[in-house]
Copies of this chain bind each other. A is one copy, B any other.
Amino acid sequence: MTSERIPRDQATAPFFVGVDVGGTNIKIGVVDDNGNTLAHTAVPTDESLGAEAAMRRSRDAIANLVAELSLTFDDIAAVGLGTPGSMDIPKGLILEPPNMPSWRYFPLRDCLSQLCGKPVGFANDANAAAFGEYWVGSGRQFDSIVMFTLGTGVGGGIILNGVSLDGTHSFGSEFGHIIVDSRLDARLCVWGGGQGQLEAYASAPAVAARTADLLAAGRSSSLTNRVARGEELTSLMLFEEAEQGDELSREVIVETARLLGVGIVTVVHTVDPEAVILGGAMNFGGHATATGRMFLDRVRAEFRARAYHVVSDSVSIDYATLGGDAGYIGAAGIGRTLFRQTKR
């Protein structure tokens, strides 16, 4: 079961808007009380024009969606907003988001709230995506989940009994920073720091960098031909060649699964959720491909081999199901939680 696109006349009021800010685009969706999407769109982030302009564009896009659905702003009970960290959630501030210098220390939540005339729930983008999976995605049958997102970086979210674990400094569930290799000569993240952290091994650029090291060391692989043709070595290329039977590509994916499994053991023994969900763009095709299934099997096996039996027998590990929609759906869900708390 996943969140569905449904027509207006099958939707359940009240309605919520989710806004998912990314470095390139801002995804926006109108979601009903059951987490189904009525309509969604995206506007360019245009970081250089500043945060307020982006919030105005978002407001206009929301107005258009609402009009297309023959709704008015009165039908929208609340808005949710997910943004890249770092942030101050209680104050509604975005602090120092990566690659968005003009947005620093902007009061994003209150700006959007004033523009829309609605209460705005505010969350880290990865926590918002985790909330989406918890509400209507891969985690819908569980009361508590942990989500790891593998993409340009490694992020995560923790949802316990419907509440996102944001942390004191709005810096909870930053799984890219957990350490899976404590050696003094452990790998650095591709940005040059983060020695031995999960992001140094399991982000898409880190997977490519680890593969490049093996190729440079003289390992043979079908990747070599493609790199020689001028293609950029990426985790997607690795996936494609693994599907074609390339041993080196498979080996890197297996080691990635092993280290992700190590990270999952650590996080599960810290927060003890019912389920772990693997999201983000780097899923090696997910359940639809042999490589994606192999990756998941290896993650599960590493977890089962290392976890204490009380949890190893009972914690579910599976892929996310909402894909790129998880962020705005989850943001809408966080807006819904705020609305229901206020109403009570």
Give chain A's interface residues, CB within 8 Å of chain B. 86, 95, 143-144, 158, 160, 165-175, 177-183, 195-197, 258-259, 262, 265-267, 269-274, 306-308, 310-311, 314
Contacts and interface: CB of A to CB of B under 8 A. Distances in A.
B171 A310 contact: yes
Q: Is the contact region of chain A dominated by helix, strand, or loop, or is it mixed? A: loop
A308 B179 contact: no
A34 B160 CA distance: 30
B144 A174 contact: no
B307 A273 contact: no
A310 to B, nearest CB: 5
A262 B177 CA distance: 11
Contacts of A143: 168
Contact of A270 (B144, B172, B258): B172
B169 A310 contact: yes
A317 to B, nearest CB: 14
Given A182-B262, A262-B182, A314-B169, A269 B177 contact: yes
Nearest to A142: B168
Contacts of A266: 177-179, 266, 270
A306 B177 CA distance: 9
B177 A308 contact: yes
Contacts of A308: 86, 171, 174, 177
Contacts of A177: 265-266, 269, 307-308
B262 A175 contact: no
Contacts of A174: 269-270, 272, 308
